[in-house]
Structure 1
Amino acid sequence: MKLHETVAAVTARIQARSQGARSAYLARLDIAAARKPGAERMGCANVAHAFAGMPGNDKFKVVAEKAPNIGIVTAYNDMLSAHTPMQGYPDLIKAEARKFGATAQVAGGVPAMCDGVTQGTPGMELSLFSRDVIAMATAVSLSHDVFDAALMLGVCDKIVPGLLIGALHFGHLPTVFVPAGPMPSGLSNSAKSKVREQAAQGLVGRSELLQAESAAYHGAGTCTFYGTANSNQMLLEAMGLHVPGTAFVAPGGALRDELTREAARTVLGITKAKRFAPIGHVVDERAIVNAMVALLATGGSTNHLIHWVAVAHSAGISINWDDFSALSDVVPTLSRVYPNGSADVNQFQAAGGPGYVIRELLDAGLMHEDVLTVRAGGLREFTAEPALEGEKLHWTPIGASKDDSIVRPASAPFSPTGGLKLLQGNLGRSVIKISAVPENLHVIEAPARVFDSQEALHLAFAAGELNQDVVCVVRWQGPQANGMPELHKLTPPLAVLQGKGYKVALVTDGRMSGASGKVPAAIHLSPEAKAGGPLAKVRDGDIIRLDGTAGTLQVLVSEAEWDARPTVTMPEGAQVANALDMGRELFTGMRSHAKTAEEGALSWL
């Protein structure tokens, strides 16, 4: 299938824009790849330290026999349900490596916070920059420089982007990502949201709310809505960085264990065959475009309009929201998974899952097929479903959609355009998860009510002050102001107002998470208010028009008045509060150096 002209054009302009930085990146990568292995290159004391803790046979293999050595970077902890299954993965990987005459070591662990735990708390203000901490921890882990390949163990929101950014700074290493799969379906996401709305109105108490939340989040594995964590897995499949079809296989079973072993075999296959597929070459401009297309086709997390900008930058590639917008105009929406629909990711997997979506996009000419992946068979291998035949893995073609209310072919999509939309106007540039918003709410025009914190909005809601058509403006929520927390706790009160028949929208320089729902939300507004962005000019009563169809976001005042209006500064009390307690003071440097959301909120430049 011929590549769609818009996909080709966007890829070409990304390549042209990135030429200098990408060439310099690849030159550094190739120098590192050409060196002798660490056990031959390093001094004897260095080598002795590196392998002192290894079992004797492994030590002999890696030092005397020059066997490949896999570095494992793990985000395992007991706080994230998605990561608890990974506790035993290193032992599986080490045992499998030994079968093939290789060795493996846990190179290091990275922190991994659960946004579900920290939502609406001060800890959430560490969330976005935890991505950069994870990237740095990945670099520290791999800096021992005695590895011939790497396996990245992680799933959730900031963890996968952080691992990927870190791995790309060691782009000479063949690298495979190893997920754990979703938890079993519990209380449906829509039923959970209904209880949250009832609690926001005082119709149910804490006991009933806790019971509902515990029925939804009830076991090991990823949360079952299509938020940032599960969008991560979709994008890794589209970039060819997983064992094919691994993303949404349930944790804890024989198939999941065998897929983990296959990850070790896959990365050793690259190393031993000397097939030139280090991660820095796999993640090229075409792979980044494939990830963007997959995100748009599935209505994935808005967070990736920040994270994948940072990922691309780490491979010497420059992308921006105009690229996402151009692709969104031609990429159809092929899936409906909560919050874009009622299905959860287990139902998505059963209906065809990532393999179905990737096949449809390839066949429609909307993805690059001629790309490197971690497998010799290329991206087509990611259009098949894994299963066990006895003790051996095999893959079968996905076939037709098993449920066309969840996944549809590119010839008959849910929408002819993608799930995310760029909004532009005199308030700056922002994004909206338009696929989650009912069509009759794509355009909202109403008076503004300005808040300096999400707590202030909750108080106004509780006092009955928002029972009207309203655009809630929540500012001082950007990377420089307070670390750009997710404002997901605002969803229930705003949804209640919407349910009462009011026209409601949110405009903010903060994030709204991969669970951005049915309330129109213009998020990631750039430049942020703290940096002097126009959001700091908005006053109560200003009429704001959010037009998700036209892609505009405007304060409806005259140009002369708007230009003359002064910007307000961040309240001193808020600045002090955002800098203290819960470890926030440790992130002061990151906040002060942070780039805009559209620039990936990078903190290390």
Structure 2
Amino acid sequence: MTNLAPALSRVTDRIIERSKPSRTRYLELMARESDRHADRNFLSCSNLAHGFAASGEDKPSLAAGRAPNLGIVTAYNDMLSAHQPYGRYPEQMKLFAREVGATAQVAGGVPAMCDGVTQGFDGMELSLFSRDTIALSTAVAMSHAMFDGMALLGICDKIVPGLVIGALRFGHLPAVFVPSGPMPTGISNKEKQKTRQLYAEGKVGRDALLASESASYHAAGTCTFYGTANSNQMMMEMMGLHVPGSAFIPPNTPLRQALTREAVHRLNAITKKSNDYRPMAQVVDEKAIVNAIAGLLATGGSTNHAIHLPAMARAAGIIIDWDDFAELSAAVPLLARVYPNGSGDVNHFHAAGGMGWVVRELLDAGLAHRDTLTIAEGGMDAYAKEPTYADEKLAWIDAPTTSGDDTMLRPASDPFLPEGGMQLVGGNLGRATFKTSAVDKERWTIEAPCRVFDTQEAVSAAFKAGELDKDVVVVVRFQGPRANGMPELHKLTPPLGVLQDRGHKVALVTDGRMSGASGKVPAAIHVTPEALPSADGVWGPLAFLRDGDIVRLSAEDGTLSTTADLSGREPAPAPASGEGMGRELFAMFRSHASGAEQGGSSMLALAGL
């Protein structure tokens, strides 16, 4: 058996030690919950009658109370392409449950918003806090205490983290995540990116842009670039919460349905009523969190998980920080280049070897924990295989030993980069995340005068007026969790890409987000502390920057700093909180939100987690 790499051992031990008090409290809570709520027969007859009144042919089994009853929490809607396939899942899953003598009920639904739809508009300011709303909705769904296991139907950006956080509070039950898979590949990513930049320059119109986007996002399934949604799927594999190899199988295929069937059968097999009880609280431990970080770094995944993973970990009593990410990033090599970090999408990634390849390479190099409890038999080794379906039989075979495309997937012995896809940067402007996997190495250090803005719209106006046609560090502040819910700032990517292509040294510094779709422009994102003052009235350094201050951003030496003396300045006035599109309803979420490094969550902060 391969020895664990020293960095993984050190970081894991540090997390275990740091988390002892909170992890102990969490596991003690789960033990009490298991004793109190392990059997729905503790409910009164009236409670039970309400719980299965409309259950039809499943009613006798539910009344008897002997077989497992599986709770389905679904994020179905048919506006979101990735979640549209979920419409028929509950109906199918009930049939699959009956095959093994179990029952299944839809416990509840959770909201599922699409950042691609809200991008650049007011609704995006609800995006981060939709994660807390999803977690709360999951808790409401599971609070009926009717269930022996959780089948969680969600894929996209905040939805999987929200489901994880909510489900972990019911961690005395087993949980299986059930994906639906990516849409078919559309137009080439280079063509799409080119059209976006031409539109930003005013060289093509809205009709051409819409035609290009519609040829990219064109069918049911997850968007095929390697953003937060697909990074979620990678992490569910690395954390052992998927049926192995489920992440990137297309929707509406025999293999996809066979994997959904297996998910239901496997969930039935690991409830407390079985002989192989695997509660979620035991699956999601410190080693699983480290595996998720290692997978994120090895594949150049979404920077959003520098926020989501700390929040998910806290829900299990596990405390991680960006120093853990940084130390792991120095040890875990970059094995994959998937758009926007490369030319091919997740379908190409899967065809080249996919998650089976990545898991095997990490395990064999000692860069992931092998000895973890997963929902699958065989532990993490089961995830180093890929599923097949022939003659109406589901089986797993070893992942290929040779990459199907070495421009996209390489072995740990010959990686794209010796370090992972993210870099922690810090200095007198705060701490931030730099997604190195998306940026050419010659652009890892930018030092230039800054232009300071408080909104994306102001940046766009300055670009159109020609004010940014020079070496410049664009600073966009008051975009943190407390200010406006930390929206993603993707509308900035095309104009900044244009400036970079014109030969200018360009960088972005912001307390907002850019996520897995972060492009080729160097960016320090999630700057913490954010510009808006914290609950104790302390302003973040970005509030004191002024136009023309020299700012240095370097992933090579981990720097985010200015040469300006900020000590004698007054902070810039913060913009008023937005109203409309429901934003006023989320005022409590903003006012109590923790910092980005702690997960940007008001719910967890108020719960003392």
Normalised by the size of structure 1, how large is the TM-score? 0.97
Aligned to 1:40: 41
Greater CA deviation, 255-264 or 561-570?
561-570
Q: Which deviations, in whole Å up to 9, do the C-alpha atoms of 1:390-440 show, x marking residues without a partner? A: 111000001221111111110110010000000000000000101100111
Within 2, Cα distance between the matches of 1:339 and 1:538?
A: 31
Aligned to 2:330: 329
Aligned to 1:160: 160
Contact 2:512 2:527 in 1 (8 A): yes
SS in 1 for 2:515: coil
Q: Which amino acid aligns with 1:527?
A: P
Q: Which deviations, in whole Å up to 9, do the C-alpha atoms of 1:61-83 show, x marking residues without a partner? A: 12215211000000010111000
**Aligned partner (choices 556, 565, 568) of residue 564 of structure 1:** 568
Aligned to 1:353: 354
Q: Which amino acid aligns with 1:295?
A: L
Within 1, Cα distance between the matches of 2:514 and 2:11?
A: 27
Q: Which amino acid aligns with 2:437?
A: S
Aligned to 1:267: 267
* Deviation of 1:566 (Å): 2.8
Contact 2:37 2:145 in 1 (8 A): no
Aligned to 2:143: 143
Contact 2:19 2:317 in 1 (8 A): yes
The reply to whether residue 474 of structure 1 matches residue 476 of structure 2 is: yes
* Deviation of 1:105 (Å): 0.1
Aligned to 1:594: 593
The percentage of aligned residue pairs carrying the same residue is 60
Q: Which deviations, in whole Å up to 9, do the C-alpha atoms of 1:541-567 show, x marking residues without a partner? A: 00101111111111013xxx3323332
Q: Which runs of 5+ in 1 are unaligned?
A: none
SS in 2 for 1:372: coil
Q: Which amino acid aligns with 2:563?
A: L
Q: Which amino acid aligns with 1:597?
A: A
* Deviation of 1:237 (Å): 0.3
Aligned to 2:536: none
Within 1, Cα distance between the matches of 2:35 and 2:258?
A: 32
Within 1, Cα distance between the matches of 2:38 and 2:376?
A: 23
Aligned to 1:202: 202
* Deviation of 1:310 (Å): 0.2
Aligned to 1:515: 517
Within 1, Cα distance between the matches of 2:169 and 2:431?
A: 30
Within 1, Cα distance between the matches of 2:461 and 2:135?
A: 37
* Deviation of 1:505 (Å): 0.4
Contact 1:39 1:66 in 2 (8 A): no
SS in 2 for 1:310: helix
Within 2, Cα distance between the matches of 1:359 and 1:14?
A: 24
After TM superposition, list the pairs within 5 Å mapping 1:51-62 onto structure 2: 51-55=52-56, 57-62=57-62
* Deviation of 1:109 (Å): 0.4
Contact 2:434 2:555 in 1 (8 A): yes
Contact 1:238 1:358 in 2 (8 A): yes
Within 1, Cα distance between the matches of 2:555 and 2:37?
A: 54
Within 2, Cα distance between the matches of 1:426 and 1:327?
A: 24
Within 2, Cα distance between the matches of 1:224 and 1:40?
A: 45
Within 2, Cα distance between the matches of 1:602 and 1:508?
A: 18
Q: Which amino acid aligns with 2:446?
A: I
Within 2, Cα distance between the matches of 1:502 and 1:549?
A: 19
Within 2, Cα distance between the matches of 1:59 and 1:13?
A: 49
Aligned to 1:126: 126
Contact 1:479 1:591 in 2 (8 A): yes
* Deviation of 1:36 (Å): 6.0
* Deviation of 1:34 (Å): 2.9
**Aligned partner (choices 436, 439, 452) of residue 437 of structure 1:** 439
Within 1, Cα distance between the matches of 2:332 and 2:65?
A: 50
Runs of 4+ in 1 over 6 A off after TM superposition: none
Within 1, Cα distance between the matches of 2:201 and 2:555?
A: 28
Q: Which runs of 5+ in 2 are unaligned?
A: 534-538
Q: Which amino acid aligns with 2:393?
A: K
Within 2, Cα distance between the matches of 1:220 and 1:164?
A: 24
SS in 2 for 1:422: strand
Contact 1:39 1:63 in 2 (8 A): no
Q: Which deviations, in whole Å up to 9, do the C-alpha atoms of 1:431-463 show, x marking residues without a partner? A: 010110011101101100010101000000011
Within 1, Cα distance between the matches of 2:329 and 2:216?
A: 32
Contact 1:451 1:475 in 2 (8 A): yes
After TM superposition, list the pairs within 5 Å mapping 1:206-605 onto structure 2: 206-271=206-271, 272-400=273-401, 401-531=403-533, 532-557=539-564, 561-570=565-574, 574-576=575-577, 578=578, 580-604=579-603, 605=606
Aligned to 1:113: 113
SS in 2 for 1:359: helix
Q: Which amino acid aligns with 2:571?
A: T
Contact 1:480 1:593 in 2 (8 A): yes
* Deviation of 1:117 (Å): 0.3
Greater CA deviation, 26-35 or 165-174?
26-35
Within 2, Cα distance between the matches of 1:429 and 1:566?
A: 21
Normalised by the size of structure 2, how large is the TM-score? 0.97
Within 2, Cα distance between the matches of 1:408 and 1:37?
A: 45
Greater CA deviation, 344-353 or 32-41?
32-41
Within 2, Cα distance between the matches of 1:19 and 1:393?
A: 41
Aligned to 1:171: 171
SS in 1 for 2:567: helix
* Deviation of 1:591 (Å): 0.3
Within 2, Cα distance between the matches of 1:453 and 1:191?
A: 28
Contact 1:476 1:482 in 2 (8 A): yes
SS in 2 for 1:334: coil
* Deviation of 1:389 (Å): 2.0
Contact 1:371 1:379 in 2 (8 A): yes
Q: Which amino acid aligns with 2:96?
A: E
What is the total number of aligned residue pairs between the two structures?
596
Within 1, Cα distance between the matches of 2:40 and 2:306?
A: 40
Within 1, Cα distance between the matches of 2:583 and 2:122?
A: 8
* Deviation of 1:38 (Å): 4.2
The reply to whether residue 95 of structure 1 matches residue 95 of structure 2 is: yes
Q: Which deviations, in whole Å up to 9, do the C-alpha atoms of 1:177-222 show, x marking residues without a partner? A: 0001000000122211110000000100011000000000000000
Contact 1:39 1:62 in 2 (8 A): no
* Deviation of 1:376 (Å): 1.9
Contact 1:480 1:592 in 2 (8 A): yes
SS in 2 for 1:164: helix
* Deviation of 1:243 (Å): 0.4
Within 1, Cα distance between the matches of 2:519 and 2:500?
A: 12
